[in-house]
Amino acid sequence: MSTTTTPEVVHDEDDALVGNRTKAATTWDGFKVLGIAIRREPWVFTISTLGSVLFGALTVADAWALGWATDEVLVPAFSTGETDGSMLWAVLAVFLGIAILRAVGIVARRVGAGLMQYRMQAHSRREVSRQYLRLPVEWHQRHPTGELLSNVNADVEAAWRPIAPLPMAVGTIAMMVIAVVQMFASDVVLAVVGLTVFPAVIVSNLYFQRLSSPLMTRAQQLRADLSEIAHESFDGAMVVKTLGREPEETARFGRVADELRDVNVRAGRIRAAFDPALAALPNLAVLLVLGVGVARVESGAIDAGAVVTVAYLLTVVAFPIRSIGWLLGNFPASVVGWERIKRVLDATGSMPYGTATSTATGGAHLEVDALAYSYGTGSTEGGDEVGLLREVSFSVAPGRTVALVGATASGKSTLTSLVTRLVDPQAGTVRLDGTDLRDLAAGELARSVAVVPQTAFLFDDTVRGNVTLGLDATDEEVWAALRAAQADGFVAALDHGLDTRLGERGTSLSGGQRQRISLARALVRRPRLLVLDDATSAVDPEVEARILAALRSTAGDGPQPSLLVVAYRKATIGLADEVVHLDRGRIVARGTHEELLAASVEYARLVNAYETAEQEEGR
């Protein structure tokens, strides 16, 4: 594991992304992100907003009811020393009715906001996941797995987090407007006195957002970085443990975790300082209104109910300002999350498909014509480019076996990726039964071609689940594929046979057993072209010979497929009808194994070197 991690690069990208967006730009971009959600879920937003408006209006109605109860019940009771029972019941009914309707508004607001938020998260996760599937392998090779997981999880959650306080903010704006109108209707002087404090509340909120927004944005980025490091360390657990890198990996994770903790602590300290101050300002306004109101009541200018109404409305008006602050406080992380999602959704390189289909049966006819592909611009000591295929042409006739042989980095695995269209060539053509792979309809190639990689990946599922992977195959078909892959013996010996769970990545099996399960997975689909990219490297030569012999005669009791095999063992190569010798991305020789041994010194040295190495390992 490397101690130099990608998070620093991610930091730079995201810092450039947000730039100075902690002020007006962030607010504007945050509202644009919310606009996307509103346009997608208009009815849910409308219902939740109406619920919030109902809550706000009835909260203001509480102030009116309190003032009315003061003038009609409390003041007369103090004056006469008697209370009117019917009026008490009327007050109770008014407050109870307001409370019930306000509860309805709260339920509508919260359920609607939650439904809208979770729907948008689900939609974005599906959209990002579909884009991952559309994008070619070469795009995925440029992006760490941890970053992709962060895009579909932490970034999606951050992008739509402002939806939760959105209906509340919209409803409380209506509440504030109604409350201010009611204050001026009750007494203009007290309304002006009370509202003079609110510019200070607004300025304090803006200052709080200015200090906290960069910290919240940084915290959101660090969560993504932490996910990347954790995934990389867990995925490479074997390397970490066998090389004794646990302390270094722990320290690498700890540095980001400590920074995330420190950022969250700084943000918490700012909130802890500002929350009491922001809560105190409206209370100061209430005290000021009560002082002026008492004087005006004594002078006979207003009734006591007007003072109570305005004082209560001041506490009501303070809440909308705070709720808007909650909304704006989520904008920085939301904008960063949305921009990171958009980078995925706007990524180019998705593979176009045609409309061609095939009804052919039996072995497929594969043609590779003047193929060229390059991964980069690096060079070897001889000046040749690395990872490059140039003018590669050969064919695999129906039902025939062709072996690809070459030294490391000669282009064998790249060629198998092109043949199975994991990537598209930069020049040349790959044709299946005379049709360019790029002209085939989506999913058509997978119905005819199966590839078995050297590294067999198994899921934490049963043997049956790993072989079928959702294919509607009978147990007889599964066993036939296992027999062809020489895997039926050890599967039958497992405790529960096909129903035995294999554990994460098939850890309960050996490397050779995992490869044979992976091969059976391909065979059960009855492919017309089977591509084996060194897929039996962990299997002993005797078992490998039986596997290839079975593939040449039948594939799971189905028609014999055409075979393209990346091989290095002499016994395996000898079973092929034709051998293609690759060297530095070019075909340097073609023919049978015996012909190449006699005609090519380099080929003979290569295959004999493999055989010698195996013999030395066996000693």
Q: How far is CA 158 from the centre of its chain?
A: 12
Residue 18, pLDDT above cutoff 70: no
Residue 520, pLDDT above cutoff 60: yes
The two tokens of residue 400 are: 């025939």
- pLDDT for 609 equals 74
- Summarised one tens digit per residue, pLDDT across range 200-255 is 766 776 677 677 777 776 776 787 777 778 777 776 776 777 777 788 888 888 88
Residue 616, pLDDT above cutoff 70: no
- Mean predicted confidence (pLDDT) in 54-78: 71
- pLDDT tier at 605 (50, 70, 90 boundaries)? confident
- Mean predicted confidence (pLDDT) in 111-130: 87
Residue 401, pLDDT above cutoff 70: yes
Cα–Cα nearest to 419, from 455, 365, 457, 471: 365
- Summarised one tens digit per residue, pLDDT across range 142-178 is 777 767 877 888 788 888 888 877 887 777 777 777 7
- pLDDT for 178 equals 74
- pLDDT for 83 equals 66
- Summarised one tens digit per residue, pLDDT across range 34-44 is 888 888 888 88
Query: What is the rounded distance in angstroms from the CA atom of residue 507 to the CA atom of residue 18?
Result: 43
- pLDDT for 378 equals 43
- Summarised one tens digit per residue, pLDDT across range 22-33 is 445 667 777 888
- Summarised one tens digit per residue, pLDDT across range 448-480 is 888 888 777 888 888 888 888 878 888 888 898
CATH of 7-345, one of 1.20.1560.10, 1.10.1740.10, 3.40.50.720, 3.30.70.120: 1.20.1560.10
φ, ψ at 599 (rounded to 5°): -100, -20
Q: Which residues contact 163 (CB under 8 A, 6 or more apart)?
A: 34, 37, 113, 116, 117, 120
Q: How far is CA 612 from the centre of its chain?
A: 47
Contacts of the segment 9-18: beta carbons below 8 A, 24+ positions apart: 10/147, 10/221, 10/224, 10/225, 10/228, 11/221, 11/225, 14/217, 14/221, 14/336, 14/339, 14/340, 17/336, 17/339, 17/340, 18/217, 18/332, 18/335, 18/336, 18/339
* Mean pLDDT over each residue of the chain, to the nearest integer: 77
- pLDDT for 38 equals 87
The two tokens of residue 267 are: 């943000």
Residue 65, pLDDT above cutoff 80: no
- pLDDT for 3 equals 37
Query: What is the rounded distance in angstroms from the CA atom of residue 337 to the CA atom of residue 335?
Result: 5
- Summarised one tens digit per residue, pLDDT across range 561-594 is 888 888 877 777 877 888 889 888 888 888 888 8
- pLDDT above 70 covers what percent of the chain? 82
- pLDDT for 382 equals 41
- pLDDT for 559 equals 60
Q: Which residues make beta-bridge pairs with 589?
A: 581
Q: Which residues make beta-bridge pairs with 244?
A: none
- pLDDT for 92 equals 77
Yes or no: say if 438 and 491 are a contact pair by the CB < 8 Å rule. Answer: no
Yes or no: say if 324 and 209 are a contact pair by the CB < 8 Å rule. Answer: no
Residue 435, pLDDT above cutoff 60: yes
Lowest mean pLDDT among 100-109, 373-382, 476-485: 373-382
Compare 427 and 281 and report the one with higher pLDDT. Answer: 427
Query: What is the rounded distance in angstroms from the CA atom of residue 517 to the CA atom of residue 141?
Result: 26
Residue 376, pLDDT above cutoff 70: no
Domain spans of the chain? 7-345, 366-618
Yes or no: say if 447 and 431 are a contact pair by the CB < 8 Å rule. Answer: no
Residue 549, pLDDT above cutoff 80: no
Query: What is the rounded distance in angstroms from the CA atom of residue 430 to the CA atom of residue 421?
Result: 9
Lowest mean pLDDT among 49-63, 322-336, 369-383, 394-408: 369-383
Please state the CATH superfamily assignment of the domain spanning residues 366-618 in this structure: P-loop containing nucleotide triphosphate hydrolases (3.40.50.300)
- pLDDT for 6 equals 36
Ramachandran quadrant class, 506 (left: phi over 0; alpha: psi -120 to 50; beta: rest): left
- pLDDT for 538 equals 66
Query: What is the rounded distance in angstroms from the CA atom of residue 162 to the CA atom of residue 157?
Result: 10
Residue 15, pLDDT above cutoff 60: no
Lowest mean pLDDT among 104-113, 302-311, 453-462: 302-311
- pLDDT for 78 equals 67
Compare 206 and 4 and report the one with higher pLDDT. Answer: 206
Residue 411, pLDDT above cutoff 60: yes
E-only strand ranges, 285-424 = 366-374, 388-396, 401-406
- pLDDT for 75 equals 67
φ, ψ at 496 (rounded to 5°): -120, 20
